[in-house]
Amino acid sequence: MKARQWKVVTILGLLMLILLLSVGCGKKEGTTIKIGQIITSLTGEAAMYGHYQKNAAQMAADEINAAGGVNGKKIEIIALDDQAKPNVALNAMQKLISEVKPVAVLGPDWSGNTLAAAPVAQQNRVPQITSSKSWKITHQGNPYIFRVVALGPFVAEALVNYAYQQGYRKMAILYTNSEYGVSGGEGAKAALEKLGLKPVAYETYNVGDNDFTAQLMRIKNSGAEVVIDYSIQIEGAKSFRQMREMGINIPVYGGDAFITPEFAELVGPEKMEGIIAGSAFIPSCPEPAVQEFVRKYKEKYGVIPDDHAAPYYDAVKILAQVIAKVGTDREKIAEELRNLKGFQGVQGDYTADKWGNLIHSVMLARYTNGQWQYLTTIKNLTDHE
């Protein structure tokens, strides 16, 4: 009888031990909050931008974790490189969702990559925060995607409005025939229409083109006083150089691609003087939040951050605030992001509109003496159907 009782006690003890171990393991697995990130990219010509994205997100996570994490849990960023290719971005999203199971995914950065990967996140109801600028991204009925940069039409409208304030009325528009370029080109045209104007020339070209003579000749003969140029880096640099070679010396206002080091290197700093460009983030902006971010990033990574860094720093901080309030349930995170209002980040105020755009301002800068000098911030920009 005693032997039988001893066996029962032993079995019960073993069961209790197994139960305690399993509970302990469960707690251990839940000690981090996993956030996925698709980076464009860590290799090739776009590598510098990928490192900005990765480093900024990690810096934000490090700061949050050093302060105790979110509800006692550490944030863990799991980053994958999409190699600047849409199919790789798609595979990266699938891998993150199926293997990592993050509460949200950051990126990609390039519009074509985001358009490729976003349907997977939507299908799995995973909140996605991107720095892509194509208008199309937030206009496909996807309630799980959010944007932390000024979309193309916002930047284009800011450029047009600033040109108008400077007294220009005859504006030509030049843009790349790509997701990025079309978004800005059409945005500039729409902004002119709001002012009761039409572009005196409306010109486009294809990615990979090297000769822009026909488009630039039409701009030259149009009587344009200024060019709103929404081009990508390589072709934008080539067309700008050719523009000056053809004797077209009117002011040029460009999108955020003009602010990249790649563009300045291709054009030549001496030819950049006087160009005006717009982005959601300009490192020389005197706002205290901007200067503090620039100081911390340079101290940690040895370089000044650009507009590929600030969006992902802010994105992680936004997610931390949201998760602290609603927990790690993806549906609740998405719902909270849809109702985000008044979050103050490095790039300014973040307030969601019905399309998922979280930021509605653009900083403008002028290239002077080898540096981008902050000019002003255009606020309260609005999207449309």
Q: What is the pLDDT of residues 80-113, one digit of tens each?
A: 999 999 999 999 999 999 999 999 999 999 989 9
- In CATH, 33-150+285-352 is 3.10.180.10: no
For the cut 50, the answer to whether the pLDDT of residue 53 exceeds it is yes
For the cut 80, the answer to whether the pLDDT of residue 354 exceeds it is yes
pLDDT of residue 228: 98
- Stretch 186-213: mean pLDDT: 96
For the cut 50, the answer to whether the pLDDT of residue 29 exceeds it is no
- Return d(Cα 341, Cα 100) in angstroms, integer: 29
Q: Any idea which of 199-208, 234-243, 338-347, 376-385 has the lowest mean pLDDT?
A: 376-385
Q: Answer whether 33-150+285-352 and 153-279+366-378 agree in fold.
A: yes
- Which single residue is written with the structure tokens 């090739």? 44
For the cut 90, the answer to whether the pLDDT of residue 18 exceeds it is no
Kindly indicate the confidence band of residue 179, based on its pLDDT and cuts at 50, 70 and 90: confident
- Phi/psi of residue 104, each to 5°? -160, 165
| Helical spans, DSSP H, in the chain | 2-29, 47-66, 86-95, 111-123, 152-165, 179-194, 213-221, 233-245, 261-267, 269-272, 288-301, 310-326, 330-338
Kindly indicate the confidence band of residue 12, based on its pLDDT and cuts at 50, 70 and 90: very low
Task: Please state the domain extents for the chain.
Answer: 33-150+285-352, 153-279+366-378
Tell me the per-residue pLDDT of 232-275, one tens digit each, with 9 for 90 and over. 889 999 999 999 999 999 999 999 999 988 889 899 888 999 99
Q: pTM value?
A: 0.88
- Return d(Cα 212, Cα 63) in angstroms, integer: 47
Superfamily of domain 153-279+366-378: Response regulator (3.40.50.2300)
